[in-house]
Amino acid sequence: MEYKAFQPIFSKITRINKATCELRSTRAGYEELAIVHGRMAQVVKIMGDRVTLQVFAGTDGIPTNAEGIFTGRPPVLKVSKELCGRFFNAYGEPIDNGSTIEGEERVIGGPSVNPTKRKQPSELIATGIAGIDLNNTIVTGQKIPFFADPEQPYNQIMADVALRAKADRIILGGIGLPNDDYLFYKHIFENAGALDRIVSFINTTEDPSIERLLIPDMVLTAAEYFAVEHNEKVLVLLTDLTLYCDALSIVSNNMDQISSKDNMPASLYSDLARHYEKAVQLPEGGSITIIAVTTLSDGDITHAIPDNTGYITEGQLFLRR
């Protein structure tokens, strides 16, 4: 982690709960990263001189006199062709024992493409799965959820899509993956000789759950690089957005925000939409298409997560029981 010169150091925390802590500062910026007691954190709320930090690894063991520093920058991803064939964590750091990526730094979580600059989606993107291509054809620039029960083999299907899809680039975002599923993706991509066109960002069940909030932004920043800079047809695969929403709920509840339906944050719709709306067909030929797994609790399609998702996306895919 690089720092700007003369960044202020704080050593007094006024409030600590499960996922966030609060301190007083007039030098912090919204979404700026900080290091608290050796742990990565991000500014999520500023009211006057009261700054709330979301601590990705949790606050257990952090004392009120913990020392920390603001880094002077938001989360970034280094982008280049070197991303291809690699596996990264939620911070964009390699987890495959490979070398550090050299490239241009891009701030993650930027705005979506202006609607006036988009082209009407019309080009087929074949997934290689007959049930999808024949019955629910997907076009480039489309955003579509894949509803499934937690015990169903949706990761195997997503891996098949990654290997068979007629796309220039596949960007996989694994959110709360069991370690077995992470190794499954890694081995199947390697054995198929397909790593050269796949980029993977992975958060496993062994990683802090709050880090899951970074995965979609990392994935979509990489997707925008290939679609905009190289005019490539990019297919984004996210699994499982339900675990992303659960992490949102943890942070929201610990910030004393008023919960909405099913204990989800009131901002759930906009939190999901800002990711899904990155799907785009660009006039120059590049595109971002999004397929995102959303697991259902006992098949309940009326739960807040699938309910909000249905209002944002264009159609739905269901994995039959």
Output the pLDDT for position 55.
Answer: 93
Output the pLDDT for position 3.
Answer: 47
Minimum mean pLDDT range among 2-11, 62-71, 145-154, 249-258: 2-11
Predicted confidence (pLDDT) per residue in 238-281, tens digit: 999 999 999 999 888 877 777 888 889 999 999 999 999 999 99
Output the pLDDT for position 5.
Answer: 52
> Can you say whether the dihedral through the CA atoms of 211, 212, 217, 219 is positive or negative?
positive
How much is the average pLDDT of 21-50?
90
Length of the chain: 321
CB 53 within 8 A of CB 42: yes
Could you tell me the residue ranges of all domains in the chain?
9-70, 76-318
Minimum mean pLDDT range among 39-43, 113-117, 133-137, 230-234: 113-117
Output the pLDDT for position 173.
Answer: 97
CB 148 within 8 A of CB 309: no
How much is the average pLDDT of 305-311?
94
Tell me the three state secondary structure of residue 316.
coil
Using the predicted structure, report yes or no on whether residue 166 has a pLDDT greater than 60.
yes
Minimum mean pLDDT range among 3-17, 137-151, 288-302: 3-17
User: What would you report as the CA-atom Rg of the chain, rounded to the nearest whole angstrom?
Assistant: 20
Predicted confidence (pLDDT) per residue in 43-69, tens digit: 999 999 899 999 998 888 999 898 888
Share of the chain above pLDDT 90, in %: 66
- Strand positions, DSSP E, the chain: 9-10, 15-16, 20-24, 33-36, 39-47, 50-55, 68-70, 76-79, 87-88, 104-107, 143-148, 169-177, 198-204, 233-239, 280-281, 287-295, 317-318
> Can you say whether the dihedral through the CA atoms of 14, 217, 8, 94 is positive or negative?
positive
Q: Quote the mean pLDDT of the chain.
A: 91
Q: What is the DSSP string of 215-249?
A: HHHHHHHHHHIIIIIS--EEEEEEE-HHHHHHHHH
Q: Give the residue carrying structure tokens 């930090």.
A: 53
Q: In this predicted model, which residue has the larger pLDDT, 220 or 118?
A: 220
Rounded to whole angstroms, what are the CA distances from 271 to 122, 185, 216, 275?
27, 27, 11, 7
Share of the chain above pLDDT 70, in %: 97
How much is the average pLDDT of 116-145?
90
Using the predicted structure, report yes or no on whether residue 26 has a pLDDT greater than 90.
no
Taking the domain 9-70, which CATH number applies? 2.40.30.20
Structure tokens that stand for 166 in this block: 């007629």
Angle at 87 between CA 201 and CA 71, to 5 degrees: 65
Fold assignment, 76-318: Rossmann fold (3.40.50)
Output the pLDDT for position 165.
Answer: 94
Structure tokens that stand for 43 in this block: 């500014």
